Amino acid sequence: MSQTAVAIANRVRFGVCSAQEVIKTTLEVLRTRDQTYHCVTRLLSDRALSMAEDLDARIAKGDPVGPLVGVPFGVKDLFDVQGLVTTAGSIVLNNNPPATDDAVVVQRLVEAGAVPVATLNMDEFAYGFATENAHYGTTRNPRNTDCLAGGSSGGSAAAVAAGMLPFTLGSDTNGSIRVPASLCGVWGLRPTQGSLPMEGVYPFVASLDTVGPFANTVTDLARIFEVMSGRPQEEVEDVRGLNVAQLAGWFIQDADPAILDGMDRISDFFGSRRKLTLAEAERLRAAAFVISAAEGGTLHLPRLRTEPMAYDPATRDRLMAGSMIPASALVQAHRLRNWFRAGLHELFKEVDLLIAPATPGVAPRFDQATVTLGGKKVPARANLGVFAQPLSLGGMPILSVPLPPVGSGPTAGMPLGVQLIAAPGRENILFAVGKALSQMHLAGYPMMGIPGEETS
């Protein structure tokens, strides 16, 4: 489905096509094209076709249908789907009972007429930035299948980038929406922490976890978030009047020049190239590491003691190491986090929007073990979240914005992205800015179509 969610819903609602036609086509696309990308872990064919039949019957009777009627979507494999065991990208949970209900945000989407069609690949227990899964395979980047899709919501981002699904759901603890959205060239939202219900979502780091959508357009993303949050987004009348600043220092020292150029173009749209330096960014990233390792390790320790060999070895080692972090280190990390949050709240009294790179550069190739940061060779996979992790501690809403394709240079043709950060609850600013930047061709990456299919 290379059409947008809004376009699909309109076509179904007004009888241009049926929900059943949309869902049958989508399922066939996933069966055939996903062999290349490895986004899907399970197809929900029977349920999806039954839901589509019901939607068509309601439309035929003139019954009201929701704003996302007939729109297929997929969910990262840590969202509860009624009747299925929630795997969280692992085999460790295979003997758990099936979920009795969908996750709450999935329920809200279904009530709006959207149709879940697949569960999607991820790093095991969301612990990674690559979606290289020892149990379910490696997700490939649709823009270049020799490259990583990013993680941990890589299956979700890649399914949208490939044009197989109009939108998907992922989770973001330390960048797991923003990193793959940037590397795959799609839009992704980490909402204000606590703004969306987490019931029915398998946890990784409860004090940092959020869930959010991916889409090919910011218009779709805004519509989907309204449904997930259950409230309309207030209009922003004067986008150009916003007070905007770039994050400098830590956030630009190792960024690809094409990202910095994109940030400057966005700043110029607002008539300001103001730059701010966030103090202690490196320590904030370290604090995010400590909190994630300690909470993740503590959550899994009972099971690690009884069935350690069921885990991916790399995940197991990180979780076991995290479980041994002393309490004093965790306390210090949370103190730094609280200090940072308070400082951000003060900062957003004088600015409306912050701009930062989403990743240091384009997606690494699978055979690329290292990247250069701070003049040193460091592991490529572990450092994809270098700009996302510190900001996670703030709890603010963050939009991952794909930049237009770069015409020349060594990274030509591969996506790059920036983060737009707003004050808590101000997702509406992010969406308004995203739409304005799209209209000015300062944001947005071309959608991939299905061969032989018209796009819209």
Catalytic residues: 76, 152, 176
DSSP for 30-95, please give it.
Answer: HHHHHHHH--EEEE-HHHHHHHHHHHHHHHHHT----TTTT-EEEEETTB--TTS---TTSSTTTT
* Pairing between β-strand 40-43 and β-strand 115-120 as defined by DSSP bridges: antiparallel
- DSSP for residue 365: B
Beta bridge partners of 214: 168, 188
Helices 313-323 + 281-306 axis angle, to 10: 110
| 152 upstream amide cis, omega within 30 of 0 | yes
Nearest-CA neighbor of 127 among 305, 301, 322?
A: 322
SS3 200: coil
- Give me the phi and psi of 177, to 5 degrees please: -100, -45
Q: Which helix (H) or strand (E) holds 383?
A: none
- The CA-atom distances, in angstroms, between 34 and each of 137, 155, 161, 224, 324 are 12, 10, 12, 24, 39
**Residue 25 burial (CB < 10 Å; 0-12/13-18/19+)?**
middle
Q: 186: how many CB neighbours lie within 10 A of its CB?
A: 33
User: How many CA atoms lie within 13 Å of 401's alpha carbon, on the beta-carbon side?
Assistant: 30
- CA dist 13 and 422 (Å) reads 34
> Residue type at 85?
V
Positive or negative, the CA dihedral 87, 93, 99, 103 is: negative
Query: What does the alpha-carbon distance between residue 265 and residue 260 come to, in Å, rounded to a whole number?
Result: 9
